[in-house]
């Protein structure tokens, strides 16, 4: 009986290490290259940069140009395309290709080589901010 109690307590402690109060795990589904293109071409994506804890707005022109601005008023221009692997590739200083994953809440998480980089929490038609 004592052994079973020890096992149950150990299991509870291990579980507590992985589940934090108030956190909800969201499932993600990989978005295909065609879906990414349909979603972004001619639209603005609003979201957050994880590393810098800033927000951003990215306008994806239909012909492959990109303009973005963040909450620190940093502005950048570049290009975007979908590669043969169905990844979203963005060229601003460097050419980086990213996996786009759809979240259960309708937003998107963007990963570069498996590292969570930024989110697209809202897709707005067109270029409403005249970037």
pLDDT of residue 131: 83
Global confidence as pTM: 0.78
Q: How many other C-beta atoms lie within 10 A of the C-beta of residue 32? A: 12
Q: What is the pLDDT along the chain (131 residues), one digit of tens a residue?
A: 454 544 444 444 343 344 433 344 568 999 999 999 999 999 999 999 999 999 999 999 999 999 999 999 999 999 999 999 999 999 999 999 999 999 999 999 999 999 999 999 999 999 998 88
The C-alpha atoms of residue 91 and residue 23 are separated, in whole angstroms, by 34
CA angle 106, 111, 114 (to 5 degrees): 130
pLDDT at 115: 97
Tally of CB atoms within 10 A around 70 = 17
- Topology (CATH) of 28-125: Lipocalin (2.40.128)
Please tell me the predicted confidence (pLDDT) of residue 26. 64
- List the structure tokens of 44: 């603005």
65: left (phi over 0), alpha (psi -120 to 50) or beta: beta
36 forms bridges with which residues in the sheet?
Answer: none
β strands within 50-87, DSSP E: 54-60, 65-70, 75-82
CB distance 118 to 52 below 8 Å: no
């Amino acid at each position: 009986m004592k052994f079973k109690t020890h096992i149950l307590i150990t299991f509870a402690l291990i579980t507590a290490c992985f589940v934090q109060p108030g956190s909800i795990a969201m499932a993600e589904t990989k978005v295909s290259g065609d879906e990414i293109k349909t979603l972004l071409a001619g639209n603005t994506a609003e979201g957050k940069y994880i590393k810098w804890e800033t927000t951003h707005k990215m306008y994806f022109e239909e012909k492959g140009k990109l303009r973005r601005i963040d909450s620190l008023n940093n502005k950048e221009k570049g290009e975007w395309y979908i590669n043969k692997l169905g990844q979203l590739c963005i060229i601003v200083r460097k050419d980086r290709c990213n996996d786009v994953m759809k979240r259960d809440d309708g937003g998107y998480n963007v990963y570069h080589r498996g590292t969570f980089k930024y989110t697209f929490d809202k897709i707005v038609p067109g270029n409403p901010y005249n970037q």
